[in-house]
Amino acid sequence: MPDGLTHIICGYFCGERWLKRGRLALFLLGCLIPDIFLRGGRLFFTGSPNRDFIELFLTPLHTPITGLFICLAITQFFHARIQKGVFLIIYSGCLCHFILDLMQRIINGYGFSVEPIDGYHWFFPLSWFDFQIGIFWPENAPYGLFILIPAALWLLRYRKKANEKI
């Protein structure tokens, strides 16, 4: 699942600076939540003869509004005292996921599409309209690892040297 790997790596670099270990895990969970529900549902209904019809119900699971409700539901498993903070961390991970998905190009084309299926419907309850920046194809995301891995190694080495000077 290279797409999930890309979301985890980018989420790690986004949240690693300002989150401690346990909170970073919640942030990374938020980075995966939209794909867990969309792709998990697709896997669950793979053999269904009504797969195209079921896709109409699964597609809205990958939108910011439903991500908000999923994060609220997950937050209910935590103690009431920390629910607000947990929600903010998990939903910010979801927003990181959606920002990365906004950069993708989808099969429907570059830019705008009004297809009811395929694409990310950012304003789902109000509109099926889809827009994307279209910088890269989702299949090309693993090639970014050729840049991210050396950058991560350089960053770790730089931080190690900075910590030694202190």
Residues 105-149 have pLDDT tens digits of 665 544 444 444 556 767 777 766 666 666 666 666 666 667 767
Which of 13-17, 24-28, 55-59, 150-154 shows the highest mean pLDDT? 24-28
| pTM attached to this predicted model | 0.71
Whether pLDDT at 102 is above 90: no
Q: How far apart (Å, rounded) are the C-alpha atoms in residues 37 and 2?
A: 16
pLDDT of residue 147: 73
Segment 61-65 mean pLDDT: 85
pLDDT greater at residue 16 or residue 34:
34
pLDDT greater at residue 113 or residue 93:
93
Strands 130-131, 112-113: pairing is antiparallel
Domain membership of residue 26 (yes or no) is yes
pLDDT of residue 14: 80
Domain membership of residue 153 (yes or no) is no
Domain membership of residue 159 (yes or no) is no
Domain membership of residue 116 (yes or no) is yes
What's the pLDDT band for 83 if we cut at 50, 70, 90?
Answer: very high
pLDDT greater at residue 53 or residue 88:
88
Average pLDDT of the chain to the nearest whole number = 77
Looking at the structure of the chain, the number of domains it has is 1
Nearest to 138 by CA among 98, 111, 100: 100
Domain membership of residue 73 (yes or no) is yes
Contact status, residue 4 vs residue 35, Cβ threshold 8 Å: yes
Written as one letter, the residue type at 23 is R
pLDDT greater at residue 47 or residue 139:
47
Domain membership of residue 155 (yes or no) is no
Instruction: Name the residue range of residue 80's domain.
Output: 2-138
Distances from the Cα of 56 to the Cαs of 4, 98, 133, in angstroms? 22, 19, 23
Domain membership of residue 156 (yes or no) is no
pLDDT of residue 58: 76
